[in-house]
Chains A and B, each alone.
Chain A
């Protein structure tokens, strides 16, 4: 199944999807040194997003979150790709400066946790295998 969305940042990544209905705040919500979600009460609390295709509705929280994403990339702890329903500026800027392939305007209900997906940030598509 191929989902058509909007390209946000270029690049292609094939990875296991980790899906949540909660918004994500990278600043304070994710530990940039371990890649683990630490926001108390978050759907993904305690789980690692490193190397995964991270699928969530939209970003939230402080604009410093863009720098946190950059730090994760430098630490080799970043997600392999990001898929959003509706992107916000923090995640968009974070993907650009960290060079993480990113697509939005995707119905994230079509992607299940653990599925292998191919995120094509250059074309704006997500392929579910």
Chain B
């Protein structure tokens, strides 16, 4: 790899131990994937924040990096294993809370903004079209590449941290035009509306991509989509298909930059969507938990939930997972009071995927196909997908 003088200096340890270790990680990855050089990044999103995933080993590594490591670019954090203010009410034990805070404090020591959200693009870590970034968190990677048109590979925890501590990432993969072409055309011949339906579509396309060994879908036939619908779609197609980039005709900024794929065309009809939806609803279901906000709820979604819950009482455990800054807006707008008066709980800084709630509930209802995947695989719940309205109905039933 061709290195700039400052990159060489970092590698030789002239900028401290953690910058050296970081540059070792980045140059090695660059060599493996055939990068010719590094590229400056404008922002970083770090995953691997929940203590449940990090463990003492991960924490020890972070502590070592924090000895002399400081981030060089805007860097934010993925969700943690708990709400940092309201963890007791959400049933998180004292020991876990202590360890989770140790991890977050270590990130803060390095100058990372500890927003703890999977939607950095909604709360100030927002790249613009064409900017190079180094993000972990598969749904946010997919959103930034596809919806914003920024450029990032799917980073892991350590490689994202290395990018933050050096301001660099190796230039390969999705940083290069040649790797951003759509590979398969999906023609959608049915109306798709709502976060749940976009999640269903994401699973359908994701499963198909895995089957065909492809990564970048080009999707035609969607006349319009909201930010919330796209965020749900990104989470789903990234979870089921490992997708980091898609193009959506008339919607995403790069859809007409490259040749529209025509070799493989897959038609998706109402029947296909219906069939996929049934795959996200388990048999013998007893729902005792409803969770909205995967990925983290936007202020628009919270406003909608408040309207649906106004004057009602929930009869099941009901979480709304969101970013702390979004929660603060909801507080000021009066939505939080309406939601909490109805008996629902905010779980800021965390989510139903990373919180240590394995086995605590029997069945979960969600409006997110990603939440279905992790509800089953990680938390051993039975799952049901439905619209936001249906989820609220279930909670107050």
Contacts and interface: CB of A to CB of B under 8 A. Distances in A.
Q: Do A and B form a real pair?
A: yes
Interface in A56-75: 63-64, 66-68, 70-72, 74
Interface stretch (B20-28, B300-308, B362-370): B20-28
Nearest to A32: B57
Contacts of B47: 63
Contacts, number: 65
B149 interface: no
A83 interface: no
Contacts of A32: 57
Nearest to A75: B57
A36 interface: no
Given A64-B58, A70-B60, A71-B56, A97 B25 contact: yes
Given A64-B48, A64-B58, A66-B156, A93 B53 contact: no
A3 to B, nearest CB: 18
A89 B32 contact: yes
B32 A97 contact: no
A93 B57 contact: no
Interface in B1-59: 21, 24-25, 28-29, 31-32, 47-48, 53-58
A89 B29 contact: yes
Contacts of A96: 21, 24-25, 28
Contact of A92 (B21, B28, B56, B57): B28
Nearest to A27: B53
Contact of A67 (B21, B25, B32, B157): B157
A106 interface: no
Interface in A24-40: 32
B258 interface: no
Contacts of B157: 63-64, 66-67
A111 interface: no
A97 B54 contact: no
A6 B48 CA distance: 29
B61 A89 contact: no
Contacts of A71: 55-58, 60
26 contacts: A9-B28, A32-B57, A63-B136, A64-B53, A64-B54, A66-B156, A66-B157, A66-B158, A67-B61, A67-B157, A70-B57, A70-B60, A70-B61, A71-B55, A71-B56, A71-B57, A71-B58, A89-B29, A92-B28, A92-B29, A93-B25, A93-B158, A93-B159, A97-B21, A97-B25, A97-B61
